[in-house]
Each structure stands twice: as C-alpha cells, then as structure tokens.
Chain A
C-alpha cells in the first residue's frame, strides 16, 4: 500500500506545488526570500557598469575582516561602536534626567501642559538630522555634539510618555491605597512607578530609535570617531562594501537591542502579565482629542 500511496503523493505534488507549500510557512518563506534576494544581488551586480556597488560576498568578506580587527580604518569596529554606545548612553541618561521631571510636571499640572505642549509637538516632529546639524554647529568636533544630539532627539519622547503615563495612573488603585491609609512612599513605589513602566519603555524604545539615527548623523558631521564617522571614512575612501557593511552592523546592533535587551528586560518587568505576550505593551493613549498621542505613534515605528 505504501508504495502506491507514495507514488500518488509524488504524482500530485510536482515541484511548483512544493514551492507553493513551502511559501505557506512563515519561516521557510522568509528564508527563501532572503536567499533569493542575496542570490539576485550577487548575480546582478557584475552586470552593472560600475564598481561602486558591492556584491554580497565582498560585503561579507569586509565584515569578517572588520570583526577580525583587520582594517585600514583608524579604529576597529569594536572601538567605534563602543564609543558610539557610550555617547548614546550619556545622551539618553541626560534625556531622561531632563525629560522625566518635565513629563511629571506636564502630567500633574495643567498649566505646565499648556505651556509645554507646542514645544513637545515641535520636538516630536523635528527630524533628528536637524538636531545633528545644529549640535555640530554649536559644539564643533568632539563628544559633545553627538551627545547633545542624542539628548535632543530623545528628550521629547521621554517628556510626552512620562506625562501620558502620569495621566494614566489608575485612580481606583490610588483611591484604594488612600482608603487603607497607605503612605506616600509606598504609593509611589508600588502604585505610581509600576503603572508608569509601560510608558518608560515606550520612551526608551522610541527615544532610542530616534536618537540612534541622530547619533550616526552627528558622528558623520561633527566627530572624528565613532561608528557614524567610520561610515563617512569608507565613503571618502570610495569603499562601497564598507558603507554597506557598516549599515549591516548598525542593523544587527539595532535588532540585538530590540530583541535581546528589550525583549529580556520587558519580559522581566512585565512578568506579572497573564498573557504570553510579555513585551512592553504599547501605552494606550488617554481619551484626549489633542494631537500628541497621534504624533507619538506617527513618529515611531510600529510593533512587529
């Protein structure tokens, strides 16, 4: 029986059918699309009348050499990225140091909201390129311009999210604490702070996404080291595989931060959530007809 059945199965699944069924599985479809893309890239590039487009194999060799610290650039990929990370960390720290108090004020006091509202909207809408150019002009070459760019690019996301978080602290839990005479410190620690967590995460994630782009631009424009600057180095050297290779490093780092760092961290912070979706939840904007929540989601990448 089995021989006949096998024969029949084979007969009704010609190759086209099998490709079709492969495509119906997410994972295999994704792998297939990547293999196809890289193969097409590798095949098409030699036909182009230019040597400024690298083949995937050239890019791969370049990246491998960089990772082995075999490079003609003045700094290794590790040095460049760790410098950029330090700038990012300092800039984000400043953004939170400035943004959290402003956000708390905006969330708690109506006059502060009216007063700062328009600036926040402008800040959210401002391309981080502008911050990079302005900071470069003000502070010249060095660490300061990239750090300031990171701070400026991230701070409005911090302000708006913290303000929105404060408005969303559940009143019924505050009342419950009040009815039982729970003290101010315990209320802040166990009611207010945890309910702000999703908004901190949103601030961190969106602020980081925006700041990272600003940082690279600032390093291209106003620095003599860092990962952004190295991209310009390869540009000046006419080494297109260097530009593409560094772009891939950026992407890998971004995915690493998003998946591993944020994934782990929010899985731990939100471990109390009953669902299996323990990623940082998108904060739900309050019922306000003002444009701020829309501006946040418009200016930020959506969830996958």
Chain B
C-alpha cells in the first residue's frame, strides 16, 4: 500500500507550432488500500498524469512522491492496449518485467497468470490470444511484480462489454485480496462508480475539479439503484461544470 503525494503538478507539451497544457496545477494525495479513479473526458490529461507518475514523462513543474514506508514504491502499469512483446511467450512477458530471476520468481508469475485464469496459455504467443486475454496478461504482469501501487489507464476501454464486465469483477476481487493501492483512469463514469472508493475528476486543460469519496458498500451491482444514483450524481456534476461541452 503506497502513498502518493502530487503537488502543483503542471505538464506542457511544446511542439513546433503550439504549446499544449495537459496537466494544470494538480495536487492530491492517496494512501492506503484505496481504489482511486481518475475520470474525465478524453484529452484532459489522464494518461499524461499516469505517465508522469510512472516516470515515462517528466513534469514541467511540481513534485510527485510515491513511497512505500520510507522507500520508493514499486509500480505496476496496465496500459490501454496490453503492450505485450509479441515475440515472447506469455510467461516470458511476465518474466521480462521482473527485477530478479529464479524459480520462485517464475512460480510467482505462474501464480498471477493463474489468477487471471490463463495458466494454459503460458507458452503461447500474445498473437494467439484474444484482445481480452491479452489484457488479462497485462493485468497479471502488473500484479506479478507485487507492486505497491497499480496504475491502470482505461484498461477495459478496447474490450467488448461482456469481457470488460467480467474483467472488472476480476479486478475488484484481486484488489480486495491483494490490498494494493490502485489509481485507475477511465472516461466511463459507471465503471468508476462500480469500482472505486474515491473519484478524482479532471476537466479539459488538465484541471482537477473534484475529489469525492464513493461511500457505497461492495459488492456493487452496476444495475442497482444506489450505483445508478451515484452515477447520475457524478454526471450532473460534470454537466454543471460544463465539462462535457468541450
């Protein structure tokens, strides 16, 4: 369980013709066994935020601190597309991101592959799997390094509704069983309500406009009245902020 401290974060992308502000003055803190969703319309800087947290991009200004106790936290990252090495087998894709080798490490990878019910594909190549299975490999890969913090960038948005729904359930169970801190990016408000303990809303231009707890008991049935009400409430907030107009 990691602690994230983001302070006065700003990110500009400077191109030949223009400067795009992707993140504008964002601050927040996350700690403990939280499942935090970052919600906002596309282009509002959600991926950029995760990329800065993971170190893929550097911030223009501001600070990011992700710690576990008094050391740097270990991060797992699940991308929008699975980003597997197509020329390595499924199990080798998990081994690729491990910081050490050995029989216990391999056993751990196999265990997480089993957790997403893909043990039987260990020796197959990603190209032999369906999109949903590849995404599950991506999730297993993120869990397999036993991260303190899990970053997820719209992991289910490319999948069909049925696959996405069952993966959301799987993810919820894994989050509860492993006690990780999760930062989950989505543009889908229903998904955020179903999974999160807390929702951070970003608006166009990368401004943080709301930071709300979601106080509904798990398991949450996406068809239940309570979830529908929470979703409606969030959407109303978005509308009142005139965020969807852009």
Query: Interface size for chain B: under 10, 10 to 19, 20 to 34, or 35 or more residues?
Result: 20 to 34
CA distance A241 to B88 in the complex (A): 52
In angstroms, how far is the closest chain A Cβ from the Cβ of B131?
Answer: 12
In angstroms, how far is the closest chain A Cβ from the Cβ of B53?
Answer: 9
Q: List, in ascending order, chain A residues with CB within 8 A of B97's CB.
A: 177, 180, 182
CA distance A178 to B151 in the complex (A): 14
Are A179 and B54 closer than 8 Å at their CB atoms? yes
- B35-43, B77-85, B196-204, B228-236 - the one binding chain A: B77-85
Are B77 and A176 closer than 8 Å at their CB atoms? yes
Residues of A contacting B: mostly: helix
Q: Which residue of B has the minimal Cβ distance to A274? A: B127
- The A156-201 residues at the B interface (CB cut-off 8 A) are 172-173, 175-182, 186, 190-191, 194
Given contacts A194-B85, A272-B87, contact A179 B55 (CB under 8 A): yes
CA distance A180 to B97 in the complex (A): 6
CA distance A155 to B76 in the complex (A): 43
CA distance A292 to B127 in the complex (A): 31
For residue A264, CB closer than 8 A to chain B, the reply is: no
Of B83, B88, B151, the contact of A172 (CB 8 Å cutoff): B83
Are A181 and B127 closer than 8 Å at their CB atoms? no
Of A173, A186, A194, A272, the contact of B127 (CB 8 Å cutoff): A272
- With a 10 A CB-CB cut-off, give which of A179, A186, A273 has the most chain B CB atoms: A179
In angstroms, how far is the closest chain B Cβ from the Cβ of A180?
Answer: 4
In angstroms, how far is the closest chain B Cβ from the Cβ of A124?
Answer: 29
CA distance A12 to B21 in the complex (A): 77
In angstroms, how far is the closest chain A Cβ from the Cβ of B134?
Answer: 11
For residue B128, CB closer than 8 A to chain A, the reply is: yes
CA distance A272 to B125 in the complex (A): 6
Are B79 and A272 closer than 8 Å at their CB atoms? no
CA distance A181 to B97 in the complex (A): 8
Are A176 and B79 closer than 8 Å at their CB atoms? yes
Please count the residue pairs between chain A and chain B whose beta carbons lie under 8 angstroms apart in the complex.
46
Are A180 and B127 closer than 8 Å at their CB atoms? no
CA distance A186 to B100 in the complex (A): 12
Q: List, in ascending order, chain A residues with CB within 8 A of B151's CB.
A: 179
Q: List, in ascending order, chain A residues with CB within 8 A of B88's CB.
A: 190, 272
Given contacts A172-B81, A186-B96, contact A179 B87 (CB under 8 A): no
Q: Which residue of A has the minimal Cβ distance to B126? A: A272
CA distance A34 to B75 in the complex (A): 64
In angstroms, how far is the closest chain B Cβ from the Cβ of A165?
Answer: 14
For residue B205, CB closer than 8 A to chain A, the reply is: no
Of B56, B76, B127, B128, the contact of A178 (CB 8 Å cutoff): B56
Q: Which residue of B has the minimal Cβ distance to A183? A: B99
Q: List, in ascending order, chain A residues with CB within 8 A of B96's CB.
A: 177, 182, 186, 190
Given contacts A172-B79, A274-B125, contact A178 B86 (CB under 8 A): no
CA distance A172 to B88 in the complex (A): 16
Q: List, in ascending order, chain A residues with CB within 8 A of B86's CB.
A: 272-273
For residue B185, CB closer than 8 A to chain A, the reply is: no
Q: Which residue of A has the minimal Cβ distance to B75? A: A179
In angstroms, how far is the closest chain A Cβ from the Cβ of B192?
Answer: 23
In angstroms, how far is the closest chain A Cβ from the Cβ of B152?
Answer: 12
Q: List, in ascending order, chain B residues with CB within 8 A of A173's CB.
A: 83, 85
CA distance A191 to B83 in the complex (A): 11
Q: Which residue of A has the minimal Cβ distance to B96? A: A190
Q: List, in ascending order, chain A residues with CB within 8 A of B51's CB.
A: 175
- The B110-156 residues at the A interface (CB cut-off 8 A) are 125, 127-128, 145, 151
CA distance A179 to B86 in the complex (A): 18
In angstroms, how far is the closest chain A Cβ from the Cβ of B59?
Answer: 15
Are B145 and A180 closer than 8 Å at their CB atoms? yes
Q: List, in ascending order, chain B residues with CB within 8 A of A186's CB.
A: 96
CA distance A119 to B97 in the complex (A): 41
In angstroms, how far is the closest chain B Cβ from the Cβ of A268?
Answer: 12
Q: Which residue of B has the minimal Cβ distance to A170? A: B83
Q: List, in ascending order, chain B residues with CB within 8 A of A175's CB.
A: 51, 56, 83
CA distance A273 to B81 in the complex (A): 18
Given contacts A190-B96, A273-B127, A274-B128, contact A176 B87 (CB under 8 A): no
CA distance A181 to B100 in the complex (A): 12
Q: List, in ascending order, chain A residues with CB within 8 A of B77's CB.
A: 176, 179-180
Query: What 10 A-B pairs come out closest when comparing CB atoms?
Result: A274-B127, A180-B97, A272-B125, A179-B54, A176-B83, A179-B77, A272-B87, A194-B87, A175-B56, A172-B83
Given A173-B83, A178-B56, A186-B96: 12 more A-B contacts, CB < 8 Å: A172-B79, A176-B77, A176-B79, A177-B97, A179-B54, A180-B76, A180-B77, A181-B99, A190-B88, A191-B85, A272-B125, A273-B127
Q: List 27 A-B contacts (CB under 8 A).
A: A172-B79, A172-B81, A173-B83, A173-B85, A175-B51, A175-B83, A176-B83, A177-B97, A178-B55, A178-B56, A179-B54, A179-B55, A179-B56, A179-B77, A180-B75, A180-B77, A180-B97, A182-B96, A182-B97, A186-B96, A190-B85, A191-B85, A272-B86, A272-B87, A272-B125, A272-B127, A274-B127
Taking Cβ atoms with an 8 Å cutoff, the residues of B that contact A are 51, 54-56, 75-77, 79, 81, 83, 85-88, 96-97, 99, 125, 127-128, 145, 151
